[in-house]
Amino acid sequence: MAAGGSGGDNATSYPLDAGSYRLVCKIGSGVSAVVYKALCLPLGASPSAVVAIKAIDLERSRANLDEVWREAKAMALLSHRNVLRAHCSFTVGSHLWVVMPFMAAGSLHSILSHGFPDGLPEQCIAVVLKDTLRALCYLHEQGRIHRDIKAGNILVDSDGSVKLADFGVSASIYETTQPSSSASATSSAFSGPISATQAMAASSCFNDMAGTPYWMAPEVIHSHVGYGIKADIWSFGITALELAHGRPPLSHLPPSKSMLMRITSRVVRLDDTDSSTTATKKKRRFSKAFKDMVSSCLSQEPARRPSAEKLLRHPFFRSAAAGRSGRDYLVRNVLAAVPTVEERCRDDVGDCGCAGCGAAARCVSPCRHADNHNNNVVAAKNRRISGWNFNEENFELDPTDQQPTADQPPFFLFHDDDTKSTGIDGVDGDDQQQVGEEGLRDVVVPHLVNTILGSLEMQRGMVMQVLESGETGGGYHDHRSSNGCDGDSSETTARREEREGMLIGYVRQLEQRVQELSTEVEEEMARNAQLQEMLHERTCGNQTDSSQTSGSR
Ligand SMILES: Nc1ncnc2c1ncn2[C@@H]1O[C@H](COP(=O)(O)OP(=O)(O)OP(=O)(O)O)[C@@H](O)[C@H]1O
């Protein structure tokens, strides 16, 4: 299967067979794909011969073939200077190869990991986010939701140009209005541009869970509620925090838990530098405009988040360097401080990891083993951040919209304290979080219970709605059908079947949700018990030590 075309470079035609490409080295990997720098051999020494090939393992991909194929199609149809467009794509064994322009500085995620672990300077963030926002404006105008905005999907070239990439989970807002006829809906989505207003009107209709947990909007997590283009604005706000601190909020938690917390919590905003948290180790100051921009994106209520177009007019972006001067600024202040993507690869020891990519024999410069890389990514994500710690990196967790009082512990007591002063020494779960004793006993479990109750209540409301509409809409006991009106009777039957179908769907969702949440609670309680046992042992140990000490005195 192949999709030809000359995407980013209209004058160049890219071949549709693996033999025409030579993989130079691996430059990155995601959940189910490996990305290579490669040469397109027929193009010889031309600069366009250097490409990036994303080899997507169709067997491991959580998306089905249609969805993966949609990424390639979507990229090929879009045209904007801040949107990365594929040259072509084709299958190689069980992999889909997407051939695209090589962005020599890699993704912002990679740049953060290799040069800015504590975040980029604010001016640089403004420059890259402004271009990202332009891409987002364009996508939304085209009726598309990206659904996976994050630093890993914002790519930078050697001249400082910025492009939004990875349409693996992007979708047309039109597709959901006709979910059962995806093929025709997909093509009709591209029949012409639509206005932002139309896009808004058609929003709130997706209900599948797409994206990467830490960046997901609350309404995406609560996927039965439906979501639209404003989900991208939430992820954009999270990406801003990721760029400010080097990692997204909650990234020290396993993804499922961060989702649960997001459901009921006001998440994170940049801290007010005027607050009482002056005794900080690595306090970073951010402008009021930046904080205001981020918090507008992170409104729990999608309708209150600004559109991409409106956000572009925010003072934070108005003062950002743009065009040539913006690109030069990035080259001087960001790219100069990070190794090239090839050097980043060479820094990693191990095999190239291309076994199974469908092209092992053609990889000429083994550089990084997939597992090594994945471990690094996980390690980077698990590095404890002070998202909860008001004293360190200017983040604030505000679950109730109120500052915790002095005698009230913060909502979650996860600590970013290398000295482990408040944590429990030696307690390392899968997620390596350190949890305060009170946090476990008094906060985490009740929080999960509240989450379950809230979710159940919402599902109950939906079921009641269906039942009520059945009663008032003449569905189940329509008196007209008993009066012998056959036409009405068949319509009634159809409506009843439709409602029954919806009801069954809701009940299934409800069962699944309860199952998921019960598992989370069980895990949390097991962890709780384990930690309490360790605490108990420590306390007993300390008492024994002190009695021995006093005895020996
Ligand atoms: N066109 C490109 N040019 C240069 N580097 C690229 C290109 N595309 C991807 N990369 C690099 O490869 C890395 C992995 O990209 P990929 O799209 O597979 O994963 P991801 O988006 O980071 O993760 P996920 O699978 O969760 O979406 C990127 O972070 C980036 O550093």
Please say whether the beta carbons of 300 and 400 come within 8 A. Answer: no
What does the angle CA 162 – CA 166 – CA 169 come to, to the nearest 5 degrees? 140
pLDDT tier, 519 (very low <50, low <70, confident <90, very high otherwise): confident
Residue 22 CB–ligand 1 contact under 6 Å: no
Ligand 1 near 166 CB (within 6 A):
yes
Q: Is the CB of 434 under 6 A from ligand 1?
A: no
What topology is assigned to 106-174+209-269+286-348 in CATH?
A: Transferase(Phosphotransferase); domain 1 (1.10.510)
End-to-end C-alpha distance for the chain, whole angstroms: 82
Please say whether the beta carbons of 223 and 208 come within 8 A.
yes
Percent with pLDDT over 90 in the chain: 26
Which pLDDT does position 509 carry in this prediction? 76
Q: Is the CB of 296 under 6 A from ligand 1?
A: no
Mutation test residue for ligand 1: of 27, 251, 354, 367, the one with most atoms within 8 Å of CB: 27
Contact 113 CB / ligand 1 (< 6 Å): no
Domain 21-101 adopts which CATH fold?
Phosphorylase Kinase; domain 1 (3.30.200)
Tell whether the model's pLDDT for residue 29 goes beyond 60.
yes
pTM: 0.60
252-271 burial by CB neighbour count: b if 16+ within 10 A, else e? Answer: bbbeebbbbbbbbbbbbbbb
Give catalytic status of residue 148 as yes or no.
yes
pLDDT at 267 over 50: no
Q: For all residues of the chain together, what is the average pLDDT?
A: 66
Which of 244, 329, 341, 337 shows the shortest CA–CA distance to 295?
Answer: 244
Which tokens hold the place of 14?
Answer: 């890219």
Q: Can you give the residue ranges of every domain in the chain?
A: 21-101, 106-174+209-269+286-348
Largest interatomic CA distance in the chain: 100
Q: What is the sign, positive or negative, of the torsion defined by CA atoms of 265, 270, 273, 278? A: positive
Instruction: Please give the pLDDT value at position 502.
Output: 77
- For residues 155 and 84, the answer to whether their CB atoms sit within 8 Å is yes
Is the distance from the beta carbon of residue 7 to the nearest atom of ligand 1 less than 6 Å?
A: no
Has residue 316 got a pLDDT over 60?
A: yes
The pLDDT confidence band at residue 450, using thresholds 50, 70 and 90, is: low
Task: Summarize the confidence of residues 142-160 as an average pLDDT.
Answer: 92
The helix/strand/coil state of 286 is: coil
Mean pLDDT across 268-285: 48
Ligand 1 nearest-atom number relative to CA 109: 29
Q: How confident is the model at residue 71 (pLDDT cuts 50, 70, 90)?
A: low
pLDDT at position 536 is 72
Q: 197-223: buried (b, 16+ CB within 10 Å) or exposed (e) per residue?
A: eebbebbbebbebbbbbbbbbbbbbbe
Count the Cβ atoms, other than its own, within 10 Å of residue 26.
Answer: 27
Pocket test for ligand 1, best of 34, 154, 166 (most atoms within 8 A of CB): 166
CA of 146 to the centre of ligand 1 (A): 15
| 184 pLDDT more than 50 | no
CA of 213 to the centre of ligand 1 (A): 17
Question: Atom 25 (ligand 1): residue with closest C-alpha?
Answer: 30
Rounded-to-integer distance, Cα 262 and Cα 213, Å: 10
Query: Which element (helix H / strand E) includes 91?
Result: strand 88-92
- CA nearest ligand 1 atom 12, residue: 28
Q: Choose the weakest-confidence range: 207-216, 402-411, 435-444, 466-475.
A: 402-411
The CA 368 to ligand 1 mean position distance, Å, reads 14
Q: Quote the pLDDT of residue 174.
A: 39
Tell how far the Cα of 31 is from the centroid of ligand 1, in angstroms: 10
8 Å CB contact between 114 and 338 = yes
pLDDT at site 266: 47
Tokens for 137, please give them. Answer: 């404006």
Beta strands in 255-315 (DSSP E): 268-270
Contact call for residues 394 and 285 (beta carbons, < 8 A): yes
How far, in Å, CA of 50 to CA of 43, rounded?
Answer: 9
Indicate which residue of 57, 131, 148, 157 is catalytic: 148
* Distance in angstroms (rounded) separating the CA atoms of residues 153 and 132: 10
Q: Would the CB of 212 count as within 6 Å of ligand 1?
A: yes
- Calculate the alpha carbon distances from 306 to 114, 135, 229 in Å: 32, 16, 10
User: Which residue, by CA, sits nearest to atom 5 of ligand 1?
Assistant: 106
> CB neighbours of 154 closer than 8 A, spacing ≥ 6?
107, 108, 128, 132, 162, 163, 164, 165, 239
Mutating to test ligand 1, I would choose from 26, 29, 35 the residue with most ligand atoms within 8 A of its C-beta, which is: 35
Q: Whose CA is nearest to atom 16 of ligand 1?
A: 30
Average pLDDT (67-94) is 80
CA distances from 9 to 92, 106, 135, 327 (A): 23, 19, 18, 21
Atom from ligand 1 closest to the CA of residue 110: 31
* Any ligand 1 atom below 6 A from CB of 155: yes
**Has 54 been labeled as part of a binding site?**
yes
Indicate which residue's Cα is closest to atom 27 of ligand 1: 30
Q: How distant, in Å, are the alpha carbons of 29, 139, 144, 331 from that of 128?
A: 22, 17, 21, 12
Q: How far is the CA of 112 from the centre of ligand 1 (A)?
A: 13
CA–CA gap between residue 520 and residue 505 (Å, rounded): 23
Residue-wise over 348-381: b if at least 16 C-beta within 10 A, else e? eeeebbbebbbbeebbeebbbbbeebeeebeeeb
Q: Is 215 in the pocket of ligand 1 (CB under 6 A)?
A: no
What ipTM is given for this predicted complex? Answer: 0.96
Give me the residues paired with residue 89 across strands: 3, 98
213 Cβ inside 6 Å of ligand 1:
no
Q: Which of 31-40, 246-255, 454-463, 470-479 has the largest mean confidence? A: 31-40
At 446, the pLDDT band (50, 70, 90 cuts) reads low
Nearest CA, atom 11, ligand 1: 28
Averaged pLDDT for residues 66-80: 72
Q: Tell me, in angstroms, the distance from the centre of ligand 1 to residue 38's CA.
A: 14
CB 170 less than 6 A from any atom of ligand 1: no
